[in-house]
Amino acid sequence: METAKLELNGETYELPITVGSEGEIGIDIRALRGQTGAITLDSGYGNTGSCTSSITFINGEKGILRYRGYSIEDLAATSSFPEVSYLLIYGRLPTQVELDEFNHKLTYHSLIHEDIKHFFEGYPQKAPPMSVLSTIVASLTAYYPVPDDLAGQEKNIIRLMSKLKTIAAFAYKKSIGQPFMYPRNDLGFAGDFLHMMNAVPTEAYEVPPLFEKTLDLLLILHADHEQNCSTSTVRMVGSSNANLFASISAGIHALSGPLHGGANVAVIDMLERIRADGGNLQKYIGMAKDKNSGFRLMGFGHRVYKNFDPRANVIKTVSDRVLNEMGIDDPLLDIAKELERIALEDDYFVERKLFPNVDFYSGILYRAMGIPTDMFTVMFAIGRLPGWIAQWLEMRNDPKKRIYRPRQIYVGEGLRALPPIEER
Ligand code: ACO
């Protein structure tokens, strides 16, 4: 198969085909408008490949997710989040020496400029943490020089990777009125974040190793997911040669939407609603099956994964053990487990291949670790950062890169005379 044929107004056009390394087929329409005068129309981009990429492979039918060719299951079982971040950003697994050096850099760049702390004072206490995160990331441009050449970006990549968790934890501390806890250089990535979130100056705090390991796993599972809404945003903003901080700030905004990164919050809201309503699970299963109710089981189903979500499978295999070890006694967890059991035995969900997605379990684990619900999407952003950076770099390093500039089919008024104001 070398070309696709398109018939339009009695003419036949040959369109080249690009085949990906996993056999995915793309009809190359780059010359379409020049040849035919027509464009393609694909609102929501469900059938549009915006780029070729060698970072992440997903096969939704088979439940496959791989970063740089390595399966998410293998990475989750043996890697750490910094190692996965290195893999995504630099395109290969680090040696031990490279990983040690990377961890060292992530540690020693985690302080934010003291002046940036004043930003937090200006926000109201209840400011949404995603909004604080994205605006402070955008402001980093004012503090750290943005070099013209891509090679000079290395330092800003490290800065962003190591400072995002500090900014996130400071935003949380501000929201609960507690003093900021500075990063600690003797802790690993996930451990340091948990320390900045949970420690207070008046008491000794030891990061529970199980929490640290669980958070590291959750970050790995969120590290990249190819051309989703926020990643496409990062690429689109960066395609104008906007700098890394500006591009990632835009991606954080995109992630904040409830249709994207906010679903893990919706799961907990739903479980709380069921609990407040007396815990009648059959009522809510019935509502989810009733198209007129406007209610869906949040954390069930997925646009891409139609058999299972491999990330959810990984979490599920560890979550029972982790929750037992944590000794968690949370009524919402019981409701979640029972809801899952009933739904997975119900024909409606079985026939439609609706199963728990990553958000169903991640919210439960974040909650078990004491991370408040309004920080869940922030956790997603910290996990997704290496993916955004890798995608931004791939786009910027592409010698054929062009500014992202989709077209449209105009359906508004034709040319008309401008009436004087008294005749309108
Ligand atoms: N509860 C009840 N019914 C559902 C659910 C659900 N969660 N999800 C889908 N269905 C039903 C639909 O009503 C439809 O039924 P029908 O065929 O009888 O009309 C069928 O299953 C197919 O649903 P679609 O909406 O066509 O599936 P789509 O792929 O467009 O939607 C989505 C996927 C948005 C994730 C959907 O399953 C949903 O809304 N889930 C709840 C929200 C959620 O958990 N989102 C997080 C996704 S994971 C992530 O973003 C990281």
Is residue 50 assigned to a domain?
yes
Amino acid residing at 358:
V
State residue 323's pLDDT score: 83
25 beta partners? 19
pLDDT at 152 over 80: no
| Overall average pLDDT of the 220-234 stretch | 97
Is residue 12 assigned to a domain?
yes
Residue 12's domain is classified under what CATH number? 2.20.28
State residue 423's pLDDT score: 94
Question: Which of 133-142, 195-204, 253-262, 286-295 shows the lowest mean pLDDT across its residues?
Answer: 253-262
Does ligand 1 come within 6 angstroms of the Cβ of 275? no
Question: Which atom of ligand 1 is the closest one to the Cα of 267?
Answer: 44
Distance from residue 105's CA to the centre of ligand 1 (Å): 41
State residue 218's pLDDT score: 96
3-state secondary structure of 148: coil
pLDDT at 332 over 70: yes
Residue 399 has a CB neighbour count (10 Å cut-off) of: 4
Query: Which token pair is 249?
Result: 């700030």
3-state secondary structure of 169: helix
Is residue 219 assigned to a domain?
no
Is residue 44 assigned to a domain?
yes
Among residues of the chain, what percentage have pLDDT more than 70? 100
Q: Catalytic residues, which ones? A: 302, 359
Smallest CA separation from ligand 1 atom 13, residue? 291
Q: How confident is the model at residue 118 (pLDDT cuts 50, 70, 90)?
A: very high
Cα–Cα dist 79/179, whole Å: 33
Q: Is the dihedral of CA 28, 34, 36, 40 positive or negative?
A: positive
Is residue 217 assigned to a domain?
no
State residue 116's pLDDT score: 94
Smallest CA separation from ligand 1 atom 11, residue? 352
DSSP assigned state of 151: G
**pTM of this prediction?**
0.92
Domain range enclosing 28: 3-59
Does ligand 1 come within 6 angstroms of the Cβ of 358? yes
3-state secondary structure of 74: helix
Q: How confident is the model at residue 329 (pLDDT cuts 50, 70, 90)?
A: confident
Smallest CA separation from ligand 1 atom 36, residue? 301
| Overall average pLDDT of the 187-195 stretch | 97
Cα–Cα dist 208/192, whole Å: 11
Q: How many residues can be counted in the chain?
A: 424
For residue 211, what are the contacts with CB-CB under 8 A and spacing of at least 6? Answer: 194, 326, 369
For residue 71, what are the contacts with CB-CB under 8 A and spacing of at least 6? Answer: 64, 65, 310
Is residue 55 assigned to a domain?
yes
Question: Which atom of ligand 1 is the closest one to the Cα of 296?
Answer: 1
Q: Is the dihedral of CA 191, 197, 201, 202 positive or negative?
A: negative
Does ligand 1 come within 6 angstroms of the Cβ of 353? no
State residue 1's pLDDT score: 66
Dump pLDDT digits (tens) for 33-51: 999 999 999 999 989 999 9
Q: How confident is the model at residue 331 (pLDDT cuts 50, 70, 90)?
A: confident
Residue 65 has a CB neighbour count (10 Å cut-off) of: 25
Is residue 176 assigned to a domain?
no
| Overall average pLDDT of the 185-199 stretch | 97
* DSSP H/E element including 295: none
pLDDT at 149 over 80: no
Choose among 108, 196, 113, 114: nearest CA to 158.
108
3-state secondary structure of 11: strand
Question: Which atom of ligand 1 is the closest one to the Cα of 225?
Answer: 51
Cα–Cα dist 396/238, whole Å: 7
Distance from residue 353's CA to the centre of ligand 1 (Å): 10
Does ligand 1 come within 6 angstroms of the Cβ of 383? no
Does ligand 1 come within 6 angstroms of the Cβ of 263? yes
Average pLDDT, the chain: 94
| Overall average pLDDT of the 90-119 stretch | 96
Check if the beta carbon of residue 182 is closer than 8 Å to that of residue 163.
Answer: no
Smallest CA separation from ligand 1 atom 22, residue? 352
Does ligand 1 come within 6 angstroms of the Cβ of 302? yes
Is residue 38 assigned to a domain?
yes
Query: Which token pair is 328?
Result: 């968690």
Smallest CA separation from ligand 1 atom 9, residue? 301
pLDDT at 327 over 90: no
3-state secondary structure of 300: strand
Provide the number of structural domains found in the chain: 1
Dump pLDDT digits (tens) for 361-374: 888 889 888 899 99
Does ligand 1 come within 6 angstroms of the Cβ of 268? no
